[in-house]
Amino acid sequence: MKVTGVYAIKHSSTGKVYVGSAVDIHRRWKDHRTRLNCGRHGNEYLQRAWAKYGHDAFVFEVLEECSKEQRLVCEQHWIDTLDAANEDSGFNLIPTRTSQMYGAAVTKLQLKRWAPFSKEERQQLCSHLFHPETRAEAQRKATAAKQTEAYSEKRREIAKRGLTTASNRAGNSARLKAMWQDPAFRAARLEGLTRGRNKTNARRKKLIHEIV
């Protein structure tokens, strides 16, 4: 079942917290775990803590369910309430989420650089990034980079470092077994597997029919 709202990833010992929001909270948590286990999470502070203490040192909780339209406002409330953008009490790099585009929503690492400019000036300086040709060229370069052997080797190295350790394998196995004990999760997964099998069978029948 999809849940929209605000969530927290909390370090049990220190109490430091990362606050986020998503249209599908549980899918976002799965994405966080995957990136953290692979060592490629975008939040360097949270990544370092995860690598140092391990996944067992963190707990995930839903702070508030809300509508899609209100989720950033609710997220801002919890960032402020839990002081999550303070390095002593939280992992959040972005102190405010009320504006998503070159307004106040910049990371702490960018604040000093962007501080002299107004919101309008920031938008003007970054306007070229939204030009269709610029975005298309960036996409072409990214696609080309992913097809190189160097990129493939780097991805294999990251995956090996994050997923093949005994502790990570044991932790992933334990989490998966626990998830399958949940009737709702089991039913959803089985339904998805059934849909996939039906699509595969349908494609196979269509191919056989075309051949015959």
Q: 88 or 112, which is more confident?
A: 88
Look at residue 116 and tell me whether its pLDDT is greater than 90: no
For residue 94, is it within any domain? yes
CATH of the domain at 28: 3.40.1440.10
Look at residue 158 in the predicted model and tell me its pLDDT: 62
pTM value? 0.50
Q: What is the percent of the chain with per-residue pLDDT over 70, rounded to a whole number? A: 79
CA dist., res. 93 & res. 44, Å (int)? 9
Digit-coded pLDDT (tens) for 38-91: 888 888 889 989 988 888 999 999 999 998 888 888 888 898 899 998 888 999
List the single range of 56-65, 149-158, 172-181 with lowest mean pLDDT.
149-158
Look at residue 164 in the predicted model and tell me its pLDDT: 56
For residue 209, is it within any domain? no
Digit-coded pLDDT (tens) for 134-146: 777 877 877 887 7
For residue 203, is it within any domain? no
Q: Which domain holds residue 26?
A: 1-98
Q: What is the 3-state secondary structure (H, E, C) of 138-168?
A: HHHHHHHHHCCHHHHHHHHHHHHHHHCCHHH
For residue 7, is it within any domain? yes
For residue 181, is it within any domain? no
For residue 135, is it within any domain? no
For residue 168, is it within any domain? no
Q: Tell me how far CA of residue 8 lies from CA of 17, 62, 184, in angstroms.
A: 6, 6, 22
pLDDT band at 104 (very low <50, low <70, confident <90, very high): very low
**What's the mean per-residue pLDDT of the chain?**
80
Q: Tell me how far CA of residue 193 lies from CA of 45, 200, 204, in angstroms.
A: 37, 11, 16
**Token pair of 77 as six digits:** 């409330």
Counting the structural domains of the chain, the total is: 1
For residue 52, is it within any domain? yes
